[in-house]
Structure 1
Amino acid sequence: MTRQLTINYPETFPDALGQSQEQFEQAAKWAMAVKLFELKQLSSGMAAMLLGVERTTFLLKLADYGVPMIDLDERELQSDLDNA
């Protein structure tokens, strides 16, 4: 089952950003998915599913938002290296 989220916004927002309504809504959807991923509330696979794109597409687009694909602290990175 899928659910739908509706967000109200002024009709001038897309024009103010030089975008069509469709472009603005797609950008908002991407921003939400990226932020939820950055906050570790969604996995990359879940975020990609939300957007209807491949996981690799989502991961490669993270750089456009300044969000790293992998965000490990020093301890987590060392543990991964030790277990590799």
Structure 2
Amino acid sequence: MNLVCELPMGISENEAKLFLAIKLYEINKIYLGKAAKLAGYSKSAFIEVLGQYKIPIFNYSAEELREEIITQLSKADN
């Protein structure tokens, strides 16, 4: 699928792709790897960009995070 749009002055095509990828990732429409690819970045570089914009890479609720910690701790004990 192709999208054609006129960008505001001062916004490059690469910036537009990056901003689109960030927003789609932020609202959980695409996963990290897909967002990085859309933006033209490696996963690690995209994670750094997310950090610059204060966007978390983990979207756990408090309960999900608690369960994940318990799971990982129980695996470490085995």
Q: TM-score, normalised by structure 1?
A: 0.74
Q: CA deviation at 1:33?
A: 0.2
Gaps of 5+ in 1: 15-22
Q: CA deviation at 1:4?
A: 2.6
Q: CA separation in 2, counterparts of 1:47 and 1:74?
A: 24
Q: CA separation in 1, counterparts of 2:53 and 2:16?
A: 12
1:58 corresponding residue in structure 2: 46
Alignment of 1:12-31 (within 5 A): 13-14=9-10, 24-31=12-19
2:36 corresponding residue in structure 1: 48
1:5 corresponding residue in structure 2: 3
For residue 13 of structure 2, what is the amino acid of its counterpart?
E
Identical-pair percentage: 28
Is the partner of 1:6 in helix, strand or coil? coil
For residue 36 of structure 1, what is the amino acid of its counterpart?
L
Q: CA deviation at 1:71?
A: 2.1
Question: RMSD value over aligned CA atoms?
Answer: 1.5
2:65 corresponding residue in structure 1: 77
For residue 33 of structure 1, what is the amino acid of its counterpart?
A
Gaps of 5+ in 2: 73-78
Q: CA separation in 2, counterparts of 1:78 and 1:57?
A: 28
